[in-house]
Amino acid sequence: MTYCLTAHVAGGLIFCSDSRTNAGTDNVSIYSKMHPFCWPGDRFLCLLSAGNLATTQGVVKRMQQDIDQDAATHLLNLASMAEAADYVGLINAEIQRNQANRDTANTNFEATFILGGQIGTETPATYMIYPQGNYIHESSDHPFLQLGEIKYGKPILDRVIRPELSLEAAARCALVSMNSTMRSNVTVGPPVELLIYRTDSLQAGRYLNLAEDDAFYRCIGERWSQGLLRALDDLPHFAWEIPNETACAPDE
Amino acid sequence: MTYCLTAHVAGGLIFCSDSRTNAGTDNVSIYSKMHPFCWPGDRFLCLLSAGNLATTQGVVKRMQQDIDQDAATHLLNLASMAEAADYVGLINAEIQRNQANRDTANTNFEATFILGGQIGTETPATYMIYPQGNYIHESSDHPFLQLGEIKYGKPILDRVIRPELSLEAAARCALVSMNSTMRSNVTVGPPVELLIYRTDSLQAGRYLNLAEDDAFYRCIGERWSQGLLRALDDLPHFAWEIPNETACAPDE
């Protein structure tokens, strides 16, 4: 499977994705699922992809082709992130339709995307684009979006990601979310890509490619495990463990 | 859905379950999914249930009926936990078959169980019993089992549950795992039942029924969230945040 996520905080946008692809239980390979598009000083967009690899590659190729051939509509001349999401949705549906027209086996060609970025002076935005070609923007209370194997990594995002969180803290949180997912699902794998976009910078932002043996990434995983054990120690004890302690005693 | 889990540590067994049932998106109710059977000084067993409610109720009723009627085989005269798991598996398959024989709509009557406990001087054991009637015992490296909505609450168990963990620490871990799941899936809900069985006690063990507004349970959730934020703060910073810090710097 895939695991990708974005977080939208006051300081900017976080993009994080894994790189493992598989066909069934083997045929494992490495493909980037992070596709940035940047025109410094004008706009920055980044597409994260999940689903049928032929579809996702087809969509990205079409977007690049529209730019190269200066088509009537492409990422450089769209006026807003919402229009960009609509454009990607249209291409997504079309590529799937084309593949289905060739197919004789009722195959699932679906792909889902997250498109995030900033165009000019508009507020940064992130959108989830569905196989059906429609799309939603992120929640203002829980300003994150996820693709693929989302459940293992969701609780930490639910508890932590808020608009007021610092950009770097949100990035660490994304790496923890990815780490928890990779520990629990072997079809999500390294390298992990991380991109940090600062609001109004209209630049490509910081980019990290973290291989399996990357010292920083391993340090994140180890320190997080240690932090969890400390958090567990700090939990209230049961009444019978400390007979004199009355705070937080369970109603047994 | 349901979320139930057991943990098997050196000191004993932890059982934890939610109590929400639903038919579709409503018709929400509260049913216990924890069914203890205890003959003090001889044996203690506890069954956790998930799946079709008519099936799970049918299985528990049959087990109780076999005891009441002193059937040839019942939980009091089985010689080992493995035999007990086999017995429950047999009943599970039979109840489903009976329901299917009445059905005309290809309904899913499946139920899955975790059976844990200790019989006499045998080592305590836990078993996952599948709808097919077969069963497995827990892993010795990751000595926990889960039913139902397992993904949200799994990462903490993967990182923390080891045979050498104290019984109470394992119980706190189970409550955290349940808390994370309930925050992320509305079909898993309170009250939360927790049962702590001490190895060789052959007694019912400590039992807690934690309602939604239980002070202890809320304290667990709040302190855990605070602990996570502290753990997040303790993660290594990116190289550009602290230019002079060389430990754990990412290979950018």
pLDDT in tens, chain A (252 residues): 899 999 999 999 999 999 988 877 778 888 999 999 999 999 999 999 999 999 999 999 999 999 999 999 999 899 999 999 999 999 999 999 988 888 878 888 999 999 999 999 999 999 999 999 999 999 888 899 999 999 999 999 998 999 999 999 999 999 999 999 998 898 899 999 999 999 999 998 899 999 989 999 999 999 999 999 999 999 999 999 876 544 454 544
B170: left (phi over 0), alpha (psi -120 to 50) or beta: alpha
Mutation choice for B interface testing from A167, A238, A241 by most B CBs within 10 A: A238
Residues 153-182 of A with CB under 8 A from B: 153-156, 158-160, 168-169, 171-173, 176, 180-181
The token duo for A122 is 């508009």
Q: Is it true that the peptide bond before A155 is cis, omega within 30 degrees of 0?
A: no
Cβ(B36)–Cβ(B197) below 8 Å: no
pLDDT at B250 > cutoff 70? no
Helices (H) and strands (E) in chain B — how many of each?
5, 12
Question: Whole-angstrom Cα distance, residue A53 to residue A23?
Answer: 10
Domains and CATH numbers, chain A: 3-234 (3.60.20.10)
**Interstrand relation of A34-39 and A43-51 (parallel, antiparallel or unpaired):** antiparallel
- DSSP symbol at A25: T
Question: Whole-angstrom Cα distance, residue B12 to residue B197?
Answer: 5
Question: Whole-angstrom Cα distance, residue B128 to residue B113?
Answer: 6
Taking CB atoms within 8 Å and a gap of at least 24, the contacts of B94-97 are B94/B62, B95/B55, B95/B58, B95/B59, B95/B62, B96/B52, B96/B55, B96/B131
- Alpha-helical regions (H) of B103-214: 154-160, 167-184
Mutation choice for B interface testing from A146, A150, A151, A177 by most B CBs within 10 A: A151
B213 touches chain A (CB under 8 A): no
β-sheet with B125-129: strand ranges across: B34-39, B43-51, B111-119, B125-129, B135-137
**Per-chain mean pLDDT for chain B:** 92
Within 10 angstroms of residue A197's Cβ, the number of other Cβ atoms is 29
Question: Whole-angstrom Cα distance, residue A84 to residue A88?
Answer: 6
A234 touches chain B (CB under 8 A): yes
Cα B227 → chain centroid = 24
Q: Is it true that the peptide bond before B155 is cis, omega within 30 degrees of 0?
A: no
Whole-model pTM: value is 0.89
Express each pLDDT in B130-152 by its tens digit. Answer: 999 999 999 888 899 999 999 99
